[in-house]
Amino acid sequence: MRRQARGFSLIELMISVALLAFLVLIAGPFTSAWSNGAKVRDAEGVLNQGIGRAKAAALRNRYGIVDGKPAATLCLSDSNLLSLHEANDKDTPATCLTHSPWQAQLPASVSVTLTADASTLSCLSFDNHAAPASASVPSGCSSSTALTLAAGGENVALVFN
């Protein structure tokens, strides 16, 4: 008598590969949504940290900036580099060109826009009371306290006071 060979036949192997490919095809959109959500949450954490640091620097106000002028400015570059800038002296309010003691990188695919008009965020300035600055604000800076972070189909609204 002849013994039957052990293992899988070619048909069984092809069916297994086809089922595995089908499962991967179905899982693709779910993993991209998960990845985008993780990037947005990461960006939210970094932005919250930057806003907290900017407010702390504005309250510290080393050079005594007053009258609603920016004591600290949080800037976002085109490459999603978030940087904190402080005033250089009592006559020069904080702009995106002054001293930067802190920087952090936001995920590249995350966009940060102002909730009110959907324009891209370039900077936020804070006065010596850690409120949005009202006087001598650098051009392009916003006084908005509501931001939207988005990556793919995922988005989060961020409101700070």
pLDDT at 144 over 80: yes
Rg (CA), the chain: 25
Tell me whether residue 1 is in a domain: no
Tell me whether residue 4 is in a domain: no
Residue 108's φ and ψ, nearest 5 degrees, are -60, -35
In a 10 Å sphere around its CB, with 0-12 CB exposed, 13-18 middle and 19+ buried, how is residue 113 labelled? middle
Per-residue confidence at 145, pLDDT binned at 50, 70, 90? confident
Residues 6+ apart with CB under 8 A from 136: 68, 69, 70, 93
Report pLDDT for 5: 66
Residue 61's CB: how many other CB atoms inside 10 A? 20
Structure-block tokens of residue 53: 């640091």
What's the number of domains the chain is made of? Answer: 1
Tell me whether residue 140 is in a domain: yes
Report the length, in residues, of the chain: 161
The average pLDDT across 129-137 equals: 85
CA–CA separation, 70 and 129 (whole Å): 10
Tell me whether residue 18 is in a domain: yes
Tell me whether residue 17 is in a domain: yes
Tell me whether residue 2 is in a domain: no
pLDDT at 89 over 80: yes
pLDDT at 54 over 90: yes
Report pLDDT for 30: 83
What CATH number does residue 85 fall under?
A: 3.55.40
61-81 pLDDT tens trace = 988 888 888 999 999 998 899
Its domain, for residue 149, covers: 10-159
Per-residue confidence at 16, pLDDT binned at 50, 70, 90? very high
